[in-house]
Amino acid sequence: MKMEIIKRIALIAVALLVALTFASCGQDAGGGSGSGTAGSSQLAAASAGEPEPEPEPEGPPVAGGHIFFGTWDGAPIEWRVLEVQDDRALLISEEILTLWQYMDAETLRSWIDAERTGATWARSGLRTWLNGEFLDEAFTEEEVETILLTDVETPGNGVIAGSEPTQDKVFLLSREEAVQYFPTDEDRAVWYTKAEEDVQKVVDAVVNGTIYTGAETPEEELRLEIEERLNTNELGKRQPHYWWLRSSASAMWENSAVVNDRGEISDQFCCNCHGVRPVLWVEVS
């Protein structure tokens, strides 16, 4: 009888010891190190709507780097930093943003007839568009305030006169600057995908320019021919593309400087539609 009682007492003691052991393990897993409690607190804080820590601010821009500033066609504009001077940075859009004429054919013809001079940056319709419609559409009022008004010099080349000095918030690279900041043809080459509105711009520009220069082909026939060629060969296809510089042409009044689809600097009829890569100086802190 006594042995039976002793066995029962021993079994009860073992059971209590096992229970205490499991309780201790549960406490260590849920709160011994504090990790379980911290995780629950973080979830509670998140569900309560407390703000998450903000990311570390980016450092100041450096030459060769990239920043995002302004928007175009609903997307942030990526800019390449060409140069940094004290509290300002020189930027150029990394991609071609749109296609535009350097000067329309009617304006060009009026200048040639009146003064025997042709396309210059000061008279360029592209300059007017960049510092008007583009500036208003691409940037907020606060962003526009950080874009510096720049004295822009555009020298001639000994054959064709340069432009009168201008003051611009947005401009283009000159021939010399294109070589300075993009030393090789490969550096200067840029790709672009034509959309339907781009095709229409090109067609209008070519037709109007050709008519003003005395085309023998009827306007409607010419328009259909160009539309068919562009829609077949270029619409929606990412291809190397020309982009404008602000310098005058090397030899002909009605031409202006471009970077061609191989990255070479050459000339093109100023009434054509080519790529636009805006350039600007901005304040940096």
Rounded mean pLDDT, 251-278:
90
- Residue 2: inside a domain: no
Number of domains, the chain: 1
Predicted confidence at residue 87, as pLDDT, reads 93
- Residue 180: inside a domain: yes
- Residue 225: inside a domain: yes
Rounded mean pLDDT, 123-140:
96
**pLDDT digit string (tens) for 219-244?**
788 888 888 888 888 999 999 999 99
- pLDDT for 72 beyond 80: yes
- Residue 241: inside a domain: yes
Contact of 261 with 274, CB cutoff 8 Å: no
- pLDDT for 202 beyond 60: yes
- Residue 112: inside a domain: yes
Predicted confidence at residue 262, as pLDDT, reads 96
- Residue 126: inside a domain: yes
Q: Which of 38-52, 66-80, 111-125, 208-222 has the highest mean pLDDT?
A: 66-80
Q: Does residue 182 or residue 226 have the better pLDDT?
A: 182
Rounded mean pLDDT, 3-32:
40
- Residue 141: inside a domain: yes
- pLDDT for 90 beyond 90: yes
pLDDT band at 20 (very low <50, low <70, confident <90, very high): very low
- pLDDT for 164 beyond 60: yes
> Mean pLDDT score of the chain, rounded to an integer?
78
Q: What are phi and psi of 274, to 5 degrees?
A: -130, 175
Residue ranges making up the domain that contains 83: 77-283
- Residue 276: inside a domain: yes
Helix axes 196-212, 105-115, angle to 10 degrees: 30
